[in-house]
Structure 1
């Protein structure tokens, strides 16, 4: 398959992370002849983050396969309705229903270890006298909650370089659900201590996705990059023309 007839793979990271969480996946995708874009998600609001990713997708000539990890799954659920999106790939992610929030989806299941590891920090909001709230993970708990099977040297860096998520993102409802009109694939991280695997399974099953399970921590792209690459390539092959 040549670059000319392959979609661009857009990798959307989640909360408490940045695009470096795809560091073991990107080189392999490029080596396979795929164009890759891995933008920095602002992690400020579901609606704002989705609009930002949608603008990047619109700027890409040709078809796109959108890949979302964790909170990035919620983002691609909304941004994935762009005309040139051919497929969605969820990695330990939130597959929201139209009109549903992150809090509502995960609120229907037992909580994970993440709930007791969160740090809430007030942050200034431009134009407002009231502060907002940033949510991050306690540095000491980050390895066990987020990346128990990742090289500890890598995890130590990730823990201190988190990209916090604004608290308001948990309550915003998805205005659209792209999986209703796009073929979708989902990877369940079966040993996930960040998002209850049942939350992942439920969302994927509801969407009728092609689903695989991997015995992995939340950061499956770093722990099992080969499985992630296989799933992305499956979506690419299925949607390339």
Structure 2
């Protein structure tokens, strides 16, 4: 009786896991590239803030960019003047309107002021971009999923090449080969650093991608642990 019960439980577990996998696969979205920094900024800006505040923050950021540019010739000077006119003019008035409109929403205004402070400090990625402790951002889920898939595709190309050079290194030596090996290894180390950020957000990633990521990460660790012949 116990044996039959155990088999029944195992059958239920196996069926459930199979259905879960097939369900993931049916809605699995593939990405050909990772999300650019500009896309990340724009999408998160519009996720976090109402449209009028998002416009203000974006214009402020662009305004500060133009104010810091050097007019090294007449044509460039005209470009800078145009950029300042289009983005800086009216910012104070827009900010005042926002302060009045959202005066009862101090947390939102504080977040806006922090975004402006981050811009003034020259931060490429203002703090609001990654500030999502409750994992509510759909775009950040997409961002890390695309990044994970891109890392996998990149390593699938880099690892065979690195292992091929490594195998040549075991048979022959030479300065050029060592330089080629160092260059290939550097490429792997870059992806390894990217992996760290993805692993910190592994809960945002599709189960299929997690499995593929774990598999390629094992191969990466193995490759980086191989001894290089001097």
Mark the structure with the bigger radius of gyration.
2
**TM-score (ref. length: structure 1):** 0.23
Query: Which one has the bigger helix percentage?
Result: 2
**TM-score (ref. length: structure 2):** 0.24
Query: Which one has the bigger strand percentage?
Result: 1
